[in-house]
Structure formats: C-alpha cells, structure tokens
Amino acid sequence: MDFASFLIQTLNSLQYGLLLFLVASGLTLVFGIMGIINLAHGSFYMVGAYLAFVLSSATGSLVMAIVLGIPLALVFGAILEWALFSHLYKRDHLEQVLLTYGLILIFEQLRSLLVGDDVHGVAIPAFLDASIQLTEVMSYPVYRLAISAVCVALAVALYYVIQRTRLGMMIRAGNDDRSMVESLGINIDMIYRVVFALGVALAALAGMLAAPISSVFPNMGSHVLIISFVIVVIGGIGSVWGALVAALIVGFADTFGKVLIPELSGIVVYVVMAVVLLWRPEGILKKG
C-alpha cells in the first residue's frame, strides 16, 4: 500500500467510524441509562432512511427532509416510550428482547405496506454533490466529508449536554441511582422519555444522512444493529465517549481488515470485540 492509499484508507476508516458512532450513541444511551436492551434500534435507523426518502421526494430536498424528519423522530420516540417502553423498566431483559424483537417485525411489515419492497435512491443535496480529486484516478465525495463533519459536531454537542448541562447531570444521576433521583423530586419519567426520544432521533438522523450513500432498502436496520451492539460492548455500556472511541476502532478494524487480510475481513471486528472483552470487560474506557 503506498502512502497516498494509506491516507485515503485512514480517511475511509474515520468516516465510517463516525457514521457508526451516530447510530451506536443512541443505543448506548438507552441501554446504559435506562437499562433497556433495544433490538429495535436498527429499525429507527431504517425509519430515518425511509423518512429521508419519502420526505425528500415530497419536498425535493434532503435538507428539508432532515429538518422535518428530526422532530418527527423525536415525537415518534416519545410516543413509543410512553406507550411501550415505559412499561419495561422493571421487567427483565428477556421481556425487553421479546418486545423489541416484535417491534422489528412490525416496523418491517409497516414499511413493506407503506413504501413497498423496492430499493430506492435518495439524491445528494446539490450544494454537496461534488468530489475532491485525491489521486490521479480516485476522488472523494464531498457529501461523505460533510457527514463526518455533522457527526463530529453531534459528538461534541452530546458531550456538552451530558457533561455540562443540568439535563445531562440529571441523566447521569438517573443512570447511577434512579430511586435517589426520584426522592430528590426530579421527574425521572420525563428524563427517560427525553433520553429515549433522543436515542431514536440520533438513529433516525444516522439513517437520513446515510440514505444517499447507502440507498434505502428492506431490512437495512438489521445490518447496523449488530455492529452497533459491538460498539456498545467495546465502548462500555452507557458511555457516549466510549462509543465514539469504539466506533472509530471498528471503523479502522473493518477498513484495514478488508484491505490487509481480505480472507478474514468478516471476523476482524469481532476478534477486536473479544480481545477488548477479555482485557476490559467493562468497556475500553472503564477501568476493570
């Protein structure tokens, strides 16, 4: 591999890792803070991608679709939490898995009924539809760089909200000791609803951003679900910072795995997960 290729592969790794972070951050928040194993998280990614497709067809612009889609995803998340997930907090993990697996099937069938089973493309916004020439034959799409920028901005914003704001303090407190937070007069139910809606919106946003480069198709959620769980495990459950580091590790492992050991590229990511689990069972940023 020459040096230019190496640099471009590094860029590929970063860009893939950042997009994975966007999906996994919502999962780790919901899992870590609310203790819910949410198998339907991938479906929210799928819902986001289909929202991008439907809304951008209707309005003619992906930006408009995202502006409309995020509030829709937040409301959708809040309603789901109120109607279903709020009943799960005191139940055991098996029941959570059953409900959320059921949701995957329901969302896929609804998607099939409403939009059909075809593969659809979503147009890249005109102002980002360009490429930067990197080498003689290879160029890099500006849109991919823009996604990375959005992901970095969101990571910083999430960090700020969780570490520096009153809401973030309540979220972290709720994570540590739910009953203590309740006895201090904080409305923990409302906080959970906000966190869940935020998690749904993050996954949906990832789906909306990825729609133009991945196209939208049936079962697209299941692909990201597994890799998101890998990231949550590597990063440590509930740690947004850990999810970022883990997503980047997965991005690098996947990209360079494909190039350097193509025969084993399918398992590289899982080997990394196994090693981290043995070395730091609580996640890469937590001390065992």
Partner 1 sequence: MGKTVKIAGSTALSLAIAAASIGGAHAADKIKVGLMLPYTGTYAALGNAITNGFKQYVEENGGKLGGREVEYAVVDDESNPAKATENARKLVSREKVDVLVGTVHSGVALAMAKVARDTRTLMIVPNAGANDLTGPLCSPYVFRSSFSAWQPSYAMGEALARKGLKNIVTVTWKYSFGEESVAGFKEAFEKGGGKIAKEMTLPFPNVEFQPFLTEIASLKPDAVFVFFAGAGAAKFVSDYSAAGLKSSIPLYGPGFLTDGNLDAMGAAGEGLLTTLHYADGLTNARDAAFRTKYAARYRMQPDVYAVQGYDAAQMYDAGLRAAGGDPGRKEELIKGMESATIDSPRGAFTLSRAHNPVQDIYMREVKGGENVVVEIVSKGLEDPARGCKL
Task: Single out the segment in contact with partner 1 by CB under 8 A; choices: 2-10, 64-72, 175-183, 237-245.
Answer: 2-10
Told to check if 141 binds partner 1 by CB under 8 A, we report yes
Task: Single out the segment in contact with partner 1 by CB under 8 A; choices: 59-67, 199-207, 215-223, 238-246.
Answer: 215-223
Beta bridge partners of 141: 131
Told to check if 54 binds partner 1 by CB under 8 A, we report no
Helical packing angle, 41-59 and 220-235, nearest 10°: 130
Binding residue for partner 1, selected from 21, 50, 76, 143, defined by CB under 8 A: 143
Phi–psi pair at 133, nearest 5 degrees: -70, 120
Within 13 A of 148's CA, how many CA atoms are on the CB side? 16
Helical packing angle, 240-260 and 265-279, nearest 10°: 140
Within 13 A of 94's CA, how many CA atoms are on the CB side? 0
The residues in 65-124 that bind partner 1, with binding defined as CB under 8 A, are 112, 116-121, 123
Q: How many residues bind partner 1 (CB under 8 A)?
A: 44
Task: Single out the segment in contact with partner 1 by CB under 8 A; choices: 139-147, 154-162, 180-188, 199-207.
Answer: 139-147
d(CA 31, CA 190): 17
Cβ atoms 187, 174 nearer than 8 A:
no
Told to check if 63 binds partner 1 by CB under 8 A, we report no
Taking the least distance from each CB to partner 1, the nearer of 102 and 266 is 266
Taking the least distance from each CB to partner 1, the nearer of 54 and 84 is 54
Beta bridge partners of 216: 120
Cβ atoms 284, 234 nearer than 8 A:
yes
Task: Single out the segment in contact with partner 1 by CB under 8 A; choices: 30-38, 128-136, 178-186, 187-195.
Answer: 128-136
Structure tokens at 212: 């133009």
Q: How long is the chain? A: 288
Question: Minimum Å distance from CB 215 to partner 1?
Answer: 5
- Interface ranges with partner 1 (CB under 8 A): 1-2, 4-5, 8-9, 12, 15-16, 112, 116-121, 123, 131, 133, 135, 137-141, 143-144, 213-215, 217-220, 223, 254-256, 258-259, 262-263, 265-266
